[in-house]
Amino acid sequence: MTAPRTMLEKIWARHVVAEGPGGHTLLYVDRHLLHEGSVSAFTRLEAAGRRVRRPDLSLATADHYVLTSPGAPVPDAEIRAMVDGLTRHTREQRITYLGLADDRRGIVHVIGPEQGATLPGITLVCGDSHTATHGAFGALAFGIGSTEVEHVMATQTLWQRKPKVMRITVDGRLGPGVAAKDVILAIIAAIGADGGVGHAIEYGGTAVRAMSMEERMTVCNMSIEAGARAGMVAPDETTFTWIEGRPLAPRGDAWGRALADWRTLPSDEGARFDREVRLDGAEIAPTVTWGTSPEDALPITARVPDPATIGDGARRQSVERALAYMGLVPGQPLTEVTVDRVFIGSCTNSRLEDLRAAARVAKGRRAVVPAWVVPGSGLVKRAAEAEGLDRVFVEAGFEWREAGCSMCVGMNGETARERERVASTSNRNFEGRQGKGARTHLLSPAMAAAAAVSGRLTDVRTLGA
Give me the half-sphere count of Cα atoms (radius 13 Å) on the Cβ side of residue 294.
Answer: 28
- Please name the residues in contact with 312: beta carbons below 8 A apart, sequence gap of 6 or more: none
From residue 20, how far is each of 25, 159, 269 by CA, in Å? 6, 8, 30
pLDDT over 70 at 465, yes or no: no
DSSP string, 239-252: HHHHHTT-TTS--T
All residues at 6 or more sequence positions from 309 whose CB lies less than 8 Å from its CB, including other chains: none
pLDDT surpassing 80 at residue 355 = yes
pLDDT at position 86: 96
**Confidence bin at 74 (pLDDT 50/70/90):** low
Q: Is residue 1 over pLDDT 80?
A: no
State yes or no: pLDDT of 411 exceeds 80: no
Tell me, yes or no, whether 301 and 242 share the same domain: no
* DSSP-derived pairing of the beta strands 24-28 and 16-19: antiparallel
The DSSP annotation for 97-108 comes to EE-TT-TT-B-H
Does residue 377 belong to any structural domain of this protein? yes
The whole-model pTM stands at 0.96
pLDDT the model gives residue 65? 86
Strands of 55-156, DSSP E:
58-61, 96-98, 123-126, 140-143
Nearest to 348 by CA among 398, 392, 407: 407
Q: What angle do CA 63, 348, 30 make, to 5 degrees?
A: 70
Q: Is residue 2 included in any domain, yes or no?
A: no
Q: 203 and 254: one domain?
A: no
Are 424 and 343 contacting, i.e. CB atoms less than 8 angstroms apart?
A: yes
Q: How far apart are CA 230 and CA 223, in angstroms?
A: 6
Q: Are residues 209 and 72 in the same domain?
A: no
The residue type at 328: L
Q: Which domain holds residue 199?
A: 164-235+268-283
Q: Is position 204 within any domain?
A: yes
3-state SS, residue 159: strand
Task: Return the closest-CA partner of residue 451 out of 300, 346, 302.
Answer: 300
Q: In this structure, are residues 442 and 429 in contact, taking their beta carbons and an 8 Å threshold?
A: yes
CATH number, domain with residue 307: 3.30.499.10
- The reply to whether 244 and 123 lie within a common domain is yes
Confidence of residue 11 (pLDDT cuts 50, 70, 90): very high
Is the C-alpha dihedral spanning 196, 202, 205, 207 positive or negative?
positive
Distance of alpha carbon 350 from alpha carbon 314, whole angstroms: 36
**Does 72 have pLDDT greater than 80?**
no
The answer on 113 and 243 residing in a single domain is yes
- Please say if the pLDDT value at position 126 is more than 70: yes
Report how far Cα 100 is from the mean position of its chain's Cα atoms. 22
Q: What does DSSP assign to residue 429?
A: -
Residues 412-435 pLDDT 10s:
789 999 999 999 999 999 999 999
In a domain, 120, yes or no: yes
* pLDDT at residue number 73: 64
* Same domain as 323, residue 253: no
Q: How many domains, the chain?
A: 3
Q: Which pLDDT band holds residue 78 (cuts at 50, 70, 90)?
A: confident
| Contact predicate 309/200, CB 8 Å | no
Confidence of residue 155 (pLDDT cuts 50, 70, 90): very high
* 89 falls within a domain: yes
What CA–CA distance (Å, rounded) separates 183 from 170? 9
Residue 230's φ and ψ, nearest 5 degrees, are -155, 160
With pLDDT > 70 as the criterion, what percentage of the chain qualifies?
A: 99
**Quick one: 125 and 249 in the same domain?**
yes
CA–CA gap between residue 129 and residue 140 (Å, rounded) = 13
Residue 19 has pLDDT above 80, yes or no: yes
Report the pLDDT averaged over residues 76-100: 92
Distances (CA, A) of 51 to 45, 59, 61, 92, 232: 7, 15, 19, 9, 32
**Do 57 and 157 fall into the same domain?**
yes
Q: What CATH number is attached to the domain comprising 199?
A: 3.40.1060.10
pLDDT, one tens digit per residue, over 27-41 is: 999 999 999 999 999
Which has more confidence, 68 or 111?
111
Residue 1 placed within a domain: no
Q: Give the ranges where 279-411 is alpha helix by DSSP (H).
A: 313-326, 352-362, 378-386, 389-395
d(CA 448, CA 285): 15
d(CA 299, CA 276): 23
Q: Are 217 and 187 in contact (CB under 8 A)?
A: no
C-beta of residue 134 within 8 angstroms of C-beta of residue 118: yes
Are 111 and 252 members of one domain? yes
- Which stretches does DSSP call E strand in 106-198? 123-126, 140-143, 157-161, 164-171
Residues 129 and 42 in one domain: yes
Say which residues have a Cβ less than 8 Å from residue 184's Cβ, sequence separation at least 6: 218, 219, 221, 222, 223, 225
What is the C-alpha separation between 159 and 28, in angstroms, rounded?
9
| 401: amino acid identity, one letter | R
State whether 31 and 81 are in the same domain: yes
Q: Is residue 200 part of a domain?
A: yes
Cα 330 from Cα 349, distance rounded (Å): 29
Q: Is 270 helix (H, G, I), strand (E, B) or coil?
A: coil
Query: Order of strands, edge to edge, in the sheet holding 399-400?
Result: 399-400, 371-373, 341-344, 421-424, 439-442
Same-domain pairing of 71 and 175: no
pLDDT tops 80 at residue 71: no
CA distance 44 to 148: 12
Closest CA to 447 of 241, 257, 285, 236: 285
Name the burial class of residue 36, with classes exposed (0-12), middle (13-18) and buried (19+) by CB atoms within 10 angstroms of its CB: buried
